[in-house]
Amino acid sequence: MAKVSIENIRKQFGAAVAVSDFSLEIAEGELVTFLGPSGCGKTTTLRMIAGFITPTAGRIRIGETDVTRLPVHKRDAGMVFQRYALFPHMTVAENVAFGLEMHKVPKADRDAKIRRVLDMVRMTELRDRYPRQLSGGQQQRVAIARALAIEPKVFLLDEPLSNLDAKLRLEVREEIRALQRRLGLTTVFVTHDQEEALAIADRMAIMHDGIVQQVGAPDTLYERPANLFVADFLGKMNVFTGRGQANDQFETKAGQRIAAPGGGNATHVGVRPERVRLQAQPSGGNALPGVIESSLYLGSVLEVRVQLDGGDRLISQIVNAGTRAAPPAAGERVYACFEPDDCVAFTQ
């Protein structure tokens, strides 16, 4: 395994900039997810690491080697493709053997390696089947085995779970994570599904329109988003527009006062719905009066919309307490209460 250094990578297609000045150091054995909406440049960056796309500017290093101009087949960056891309005319075992043959692994050692890697993904019994005889999940596992068989320096995954159904997705996700940890694989995982990204990443890089918005551990990105895009992309965020005042106070357009660290210099202040409690009486650092508009039943949680005095709107997410508490009723007057430390200030 090796570390990956992405240095000021830029990719342009004609006049369109797909990736702009991307720099990242991925430590050995780390799993980084690239997350973002379609067209944000995450897949382009991944394919630049793999070598299918050549950067317009910048450098990519795998370990100490500068691979920027190195052809695909010399990079040892085993990749799992979105639609598996198994060789249809070869059996499972032959699919896995192919990479070993290309890496000139002596025949004697090949069998052992194939067996080992098929065991890891639990596909040993089906080694003589053809791809068309396998289910989606099984094909996915073969794809993983094939990429790992060549003992790559970097392990790349391009939205590997998006073609699986929901339940399978969770299973395979955990398997990939377990495998990655066990083998200490330096891994880049591209996805547009934020839950997926949050669940498995050591660190996440969120991208938008080719620009990296923020890089960090999942909890950092979620609790302390660097900008409005990240705040809004990961989960939901109540955002108030307004103006900073003295003493870390923030006044919203509608005239409400919010206490937030850094609020004195902010243009926007945000707070997550699950941090907002709805009480009959004000309590806590911030308590904004308002009226309940509606309440959305989402199963495990309730999403309550509150119209605050002065015009702002806010969403509070409360755990569904079942029969133990009365659900919030429309028209009820409440106070939306949240702590200053739960707020995030943005300057945009």
81 scored as a contact of other proteins (CB under 8 A) = yes
Which run of H or E residues covers position 303? strand 301-308
Q: Please provide the DSSP assignment of 137-177 as one string.
A: HHHHHHHHHHHHHT--SEEEEESTTTTS-HHHHHHHHHHHH
The nearer residue to other proteins, 81 or 126, going by C-beta atoms, is: 81
79 scored as a contact of other proteins (CB under 8 A) = yes
Contact positions with other proteins (CB under 8 A) in 104-163: 130, 132, 143, 146-147, 149-150
In the complex, the smallest distance separating the C-beta of residue 12 from other proteins, rounded to whole angstroms, is 15
Separation of first and last alpha carbons in the chain: 40
Determine which residue in the list 15, 38, 64, 88 makes contact with other proteins, applying CB under 8 A.
88
Name which of 198, 257, 258 is nearest 230 in CA terms.
198
Rounded CA-CA distance 141/136 in Å is 9
In the complex, the smallest distance separating the C-beta of residue 112 from other proteins, rounded to whole angstroms, is 18
Query: What is each CA distance from 18 to 48, 157, 226, in whole angstroms?
Result: 12, 19, 22
The nearer residue to other proteins, 52 or 282, going by C-beta atoms, is: 52
Judged by CB under 8 A, the number of residues near other proteins is: 30
In the complex, the smallest distance separating the C-beta of residue 39 from other proteins, rounded to whole angstroms, is 18
Whether 99 and 86 have beta carbons less than 8 Å apart is answered as no
Beta pairing partners, 211:
208
Determine which residue in the list 8, 25, 39, 52 makes contact with other proteins, applying CB under 8 A.
52
254 scored as a contact of other proteins (CB under 8 A) = no
Residues that bind other proteins (CB under 8 A): 50, 52, 71-74, 76-79, 81-83, 85-90, 98-99, 102-103, 130, 132, 143, 146-147, 149-150
